[in-house]
Amino acid sequence: MTAPSIQSVSLNFAMTVTELLANIPDLSPGAGQLVHDLFNRRFSLTPSSSPPVSIYVASGTALGGATLDIDLTAAPGSQGAIDCTGKGLVCLLAVNTNAHQFTVAPGAANAYPLPETLLLHAGGGRAERFFPTPLTAVDGTHKMIRITGTLGDTPILLACFG
């Protein structure tokens, strides 16, 4: 199958805290706020951006056991199996809406070398990762990602490669 082409990807990494200032002379009550948002970042990626993104993997498969192995040479996508061969991971989003935690890690054999194991806590845990330099290109010996969790849970994983 021909991989669906990506038009654009928007990544937003943000945490904004608004602090109410009190007990400051010459400040009207309730008028002072300090907004902490210095480290908020937004990235827009396209097939011609740096880094580029051109294909994606989207998995929302219920675990048939304790593990789900995703083969990046035949990975799930919105329009069928996707072959990520020759592409490196640029960004990843994992979401847990289940009652049990799960992990996303390199596979047991022919592992795709993720830089860390992601632990997603139950009931809303999420992890976002952005790699300004794409990770290792997918090939026959670097292709498996393993999700480990609880039978019946449905971890959500979206990953873009370029």
> For the chain, what are the domain ranges?
9-43, 45-161
Mean pLDDT of 105-117: 96
Whether 124 has a pLDDT exceeding 70, the answer reads: yes
User: To the nearest whole percent, how much of the chain has pLDDT over 90?
Assistant: 58
d(CA 11, CA 81): 24
Cα gap 130→11, rounded to integer Å: 8
Residue 144 near residue 109 (C-beta atoms within 8 A): yes
Residue 124 sits at the vertex; the CA angle it makes with 119 and 129, to the nearest 5 degrees, is: 50
Mean pLDDT of the residues in the chain: 88
User: Which pairing describes strands 126-130 and 17-20: parallel, antiparallel, or unpaired?
Assistant: unpaired
Longest CA–CA separation in the chain, Å: 68
Backbone angles phi, psi at 122, to 5 degrees: -65, 150
Q: Quickly name the fold that domain 45-161 has.
A: Jelly Rolls (2.60.120)
Are 41 and 79 spatial neighbours (Cβ–Cβ below 8 Å)? no
Q: Average pLDDT for residues 59-69, to the nearest whole number?
A: 91
Mean pLDDT lowest for which of 11-15, 24-28, 109-113? 24-28
b vs e for 17-44, b when ≥16 Cβ sit within 10 Å of the residue's Cβ?
A: eeeeeeeeeeeeeeeeeeeeeeeeeeee
Q: Per-residue pLDDT for 29 more than 80?
A: no
Beta-carbon neighbour count of residue 118 at 10 Å? 20
Confidence band for 126, pLDDT divided at 50, 70 and 90? very high
* Global confidence as pTM: 0.83
| DSSP tag of 142 | B
Residue-level length of the chain: 162
Query: Does pLDDT of 111 surpass 90?
Result: yes
